[in-house]
Amino acid sequence: MIDLDNPEVYQRLDPAGMRECIRELPQQCLKAWQQALSFKLPRPYSKIDRIVILGMGGSAIGGDLLNSLASLESKTPISVCRDYNLPHFVDANTLVIASSYSGMTEETLSAFDQALATPAKKLVITTGGKLKAIAEQNKIPVLIVDYKAPPRAALAHSFVPLLGICQNLGIVSDKSKDVAEMAQVLQDLQETIDENRPLKSNPAKQLAAKLYDHLAVIYGAGFVATAAQRWKTQINENSKAWAFYEIFPELNHNAVVGYEFPADLAQKLFVVFLRSPRLHPRTLIRYKLTAEMLSNAKVSHEIVDSSGESALSQMMSLVFFGDWVSYYLALLNETDPSPVKVIDFLKKRLAES
């Protein structure tokens, strides 16, 4: 197995520096927060009763994180549209936010084009591309992302600006203290899990080693369910590996029944529970009971607990931990975590069509 304590491994397998993008998350969150607070929206934008976020992949997960957090306090429904078609319920009281790091995501462009024909309020978050050009042609506010990275590594700029915009619109309470705490929590956590911490005292490296040569299944609940989704996609894109995620308490109504067959698969599975003390007490009991059922089925598993006091810190600490785990798993798989050649191939073939 690859030695995760060997500096040469990082130079050889990570020439594009994905680890630097992961390491920068705390600072980028603070930068994105300040940008969001200074971003001015037209006065009519305050008159909305729902938000629809258009996006795919790394540009969409920010909307999911926002929804998970805002649902703890806000009455304003927030949904993420990962499709070519705009939801039919979009109206004059809807804020449609098109989020595309590249500005070239075809599904997002298609749905945004449909949004132009509606009276909805509109906003764009991007680095440029067609989406920026279309927005400027139609005099739609554009929040420019000034950070170069693969879209999945620009999470701070797909999530934190949305949170700041919602605060500016009065949809969520003042999150300034929570953002500051979150950045400090991530910074503190990083000291225990980045590549400079040896395997023997690095829980992220240790978990990656356990996931190596296994099929990862990530369990989450409530507002940390999106963190489980993020783990799944990061393992897919960074580690180039299969992964799935399930959500409590729903998984207790179906997934647990599937532990029985095929029996041989149990040896190749590894389940990770993402846990927060803020979850419903009955859900926390379900975590314990489900772990017992996995043990009976001889399926390896582990619990990763959140850090920090606020819901924002707890959610993002789990996301951050998962980003590092997926990175180490990529190295164990002896693959460069940055390129996504299969996606590039698919986009090329779609363009040809």
Q: Which of 253, 260, 341, 352 is catalytic?
A: 253
Q: Which of 24, 210, 302, 347 is catalytic?
A: 347
Give the Cα separation of 347 and 353 in Å (integer).
10
Tell me whether residue 157 is one of the annotated catalytic residues: no
By CB atoms closer than 10 A (0-12, 13-18, 19+), residue 297 is middle
Tell me whether residue 347 is one of the annotated catalytic residues: yes
Give the Cα separation of 301 and 273 in Å (integer).
8
Do 318 and 25 form a contact (C-beta atoms < 8 A)?
no
Give the Cα separation of 213 and 253 in Å (integer).
28
Q: Which of 107, 195, 237, 246 is catalytic?
A: 237
Tell me whether residue 122 is one of the annotated catalytic residues: no
Helix (H, G, I), strand (E, B), or coil: what is residue 248?
Answer: strand
- Residue matched to tokens 């059922």: 293
By CB atoms closer than 10 A (0-12, 13-18, 19+), residue 75 is exposed
Strand blocks (E) in the chain: 50-54, 78-81, 94-100, 121-126, 142-144, 215-221, 243-248, 269-275, 300-305
Closest among 297, 282, 159 to 221, alpha carbons compared: 282
Q: Active-site residues: which are they?
A: 237, 253, 347
